[in-house]
Copies of this chain bind each other. A is one copy, B any other.
Amino acid sequence: MSRLIEYKDMSSRAKAVVEGIAKARGIDPANINNVWKALARHPAVMEQFAAEMKTAFAPGKLDPLTKEMIYLAVSITNQCEYCIASHGAMAKAKGMTEEMHEEFMAVVLAAQKGNKITMAYRVPVDKAFEES
């Protein structure tokens, strides 16, 4: 498996990133998710991804659950098991009910098919969409 670095063994740069995330989530830094334990090897990459995630999930016009579902839709399409497991859990924690999950899956699967259909039949973009 991947080399995971526990919080207590991280460099000070990596610790600072983990502390920022832990504080925002109200958790103990020792319980940080594995992705951060892996990224601790590369503090510069870690800092940039943490900043990017913070910006992406900052309060704004889209509500937190919608953002989680967008993230999850990307992760299913890219077939990333870790991201499906983690952001699936987060979507539930942010209010995705089983009924909403099923609707979500229906859209995600229709999109996969729609994407391949337009490629397979080499469908040209409609003028109306070009102008919008």
Contact = CB atoms under 8 A, between A and B. Distances in A.
Contact of A117 (B35, B103, B115, B124): B35
Interface SS of chain A? helix
Contacts of A41: 98, 101-102, 121
Contacts of A113: 49, 52, 109, 112-113
Given A34-B126, A111-B70, A113-B109, A103 B2 contact: no
Interface in A82-132: 82-89, 92-93, 97-126, 128-130, 132
A60 to B, nearest CB: 5
Contacts of A87: 111
29 contacts: A1-B122, A2-B121, A35-B117, A35-B118, A37-B123, A39-B117, A42-B98, A42-B105, A49-B109, A49-B117, A53-B110, A55-B110, A61-B97, A62-B69, A67-B107, A71-B111, A71-B114, A73-B77, A74-B76, A76-B119, A78-B116, A80-B114, A82-B118, A83-B111, A83-B115, A85-B122, A85-B130, A89-B129, A109-B117
